[in-house]
Amino acid sequence: MSSSSEVLELEPLSNVDLSLTETRGAGVRPPTEEQLPTRDAAGVLAVMEELNRIRDLDTLLERVLLRARHLVRADAGTIYLRAGNDLYFSFIQNDTLFLGQTAESRYVYSANTLPINRNSLAGYVAETKDPLVIDDVYDIRSEVSYSFNPAFDKKSNYKTGSMLIVPLLTRDNALVGVLQLINATDDSGKTVPFSYQDRLFASQFAQQAADAVDRAKLTREMVLHLVELSALRDPFETADHANRIGAYSVELYDRWATRARVNEQEIRSNREIMRTAAMLHDVGKAAISELILRKETNLSESERKRMQLHTLYGARLFKNDDSPWEVMAREIALSHHERWDGTGYPGHTSSIFARSIKIGRPKRADEIPVSARIVAVADVYDALVSRRAHKKAWREQDVLTQLRAEAGKRFDPGLVEIFLGMNDVVRSIRRKYS
């Protein structure tokens, strides 16, 4: 779009009810000592009140695992989600191995799966829906069907001892996943067996958490259905692409906000709403002709202007100014194609909800919301590093070189610097959502 003022006539776009995808509450960051739950029924109830306020699936899963570990004083743990006949590693936490490296540990093992059968510990719990309490995984009696796989211990030099594994079952007894807690610790930090009280707390906690996880899964599915709506027009707007953009954006925001000394409460809140807002950055493409979106040759000027309208159509879906999530989703959809040097689109606008919208000069630098600047980096990186019908995937080093060259032109230079420093996390996210 040109820098001179122009007026656009937009056709009405059907209202889409996005209320289920609103996400509020705290993101996952290590709690301070006074935030730790008490080890009693009141502590479990307090934790569940906290979890029931979380709607983002990844945030919830990570918080469920964190809180369960604190309730039973477990050094480590894994939370699995069920998908068909398999269990998927969703999150792994380990205070001994990953303390200070929590970002990468969120994704590094999550491409792995376990079949639901009676051979593995977690598979056995998923198959039977019965909890397991094991005092020493290296001393399991021989007559049982399950066994402990020591591969992780050998690779990481970690020593697994005690385990408490409980199914995540909804009120309808449907299996959502499995919660695996590793190495109970005493006051001195020594590994000890899980107690009978630990089992009661973990089982009670898992029953409540399963329903919260099931609701969050529904929310994520609703978001992905909207992504699929865009994919009907643009085949590159896939669920994996959306998940990667959401994950890149959350991790990039976290580092930027920490560097900018944003207060802890604001970081926690924005981490959660950032993911789904970023996932829907291109939802407006559902209103653009597939003849334009799928065209492999250069677009004509009129086609280019028409394609650029997806930013306005997407932003118009999010009308509720009282919802922090909708406000962020709107600013990302509208501004993620603005450029740091002021040559992007659509530019400054009058009310985007009017039929006639006045378009002014492009936004530049800090005029662009930071959420949109973050998604711009994440989106271009993923587009370049991924194979598309009309191009091969770029080598990762070439993509990083391109981002560096565009810093201060297309992208916020500070965000590019941060993104280039989180390669391990980015690769882990790509493995998880590939």
74 and 10 together in one domain:
no
234 and 192 together in one domain:
no
Q: Which domain holds residue 180?
A: 26-218
177 and 238 together in one domain:
no
273 and 167 together in one domain:
no
Q: How far apart are CA 136 and CA 192, in angstroms?
A: 9
128 in a domain, yes or no?
Answer: yes
| Amino acid making up residue 317 | L
Q: How far apart are CA 225 and CA 406, in angstroms?
A: 33
213 and 225 together in one domain:
no
108 in a domain, yes or no?
Answer: yes
Q: Are 5 and 346 a contacting pair, CB within 8 Å? A: no
Q: What is the CATH number of the domain that holds 125?
A: 3.30.450.40
**Separation in Å, CA 2 to CA 285, 301, 338:** 21, 11, 12
1 in a domain, yes or no?
Answer: no
Domain boundary among 160, 183, 218: 218
13 and 37 together in one domain:
no
292 and 375 together in one domain:
yes
Q: How far apart are CA 425 and CA 102, in angstroms?
A: 10
Q: What is the CATH number of the domain that holds 262?
A: 1.10.3210.10
**In angstroms, what is the C-alpha Rg of the chain?**
23
pTM of the model: 0.81
269 and 391 together in one domain:
yes
- pLDDT per residue, tens digit, the chain (434 aa), is 444 567 676 765 544 333 333 333 334 444 444 455 555 666 667 777 888 888 889 889 989 999 999 999 999 999 999 999 999 988 889 999 876 555 666 676 666 789 999 999 999 999 999 999 999 999 998 789 999 999 989 988 999 999 999 999 999 999 999 999 999 999 999 999 999 999 988 998 998 899 999 999 988 888 888 888 777 777 776 888 999 999 999 999 999 999 999 998 899 889 989 999 999 999 999 888 888 888 878 899 999 999 999 999 999 999 999 999 999 999 999 999 999 999 999 999 988 998 888 999 999 999 999 999 999 999 999 999 998 766 789 999 999 999 999 999 999 999 999 999 999 899 989 988 87
409 in a domain, yes or no?
Answer: yes
188 and 252 together in one domain:
no
In 161-246, where do the E strands start and end? Answer: 163-169, 175-185, 191-192
317 and 213 together in one domain:
no
Q: Are 331 and 346 a contacting pair, CB within 8 Å? A: no
DSSP collapsed to 3 states, 304-327? HHHHHCHHHHHHCCCCCCCCHHHH
225 and 356 together in one domain:
yes
325 and 401 together in one domain:
yes
Q: State how many domains the chain has.
A: 2
Domain boundary among 197, 218, 239: 218
Q: H or E element: which one contains 424?
A: helix 423-432
Q: Are 72 and 292 a contacting pair, CB within 8 Å? A: no
232 in a domain, yes or no?
Answer: yes
Domain boundary among 218, 233, 256: 218
Q: Are 87 and 116 a contacting pair, CB within 8 Å? A: yes
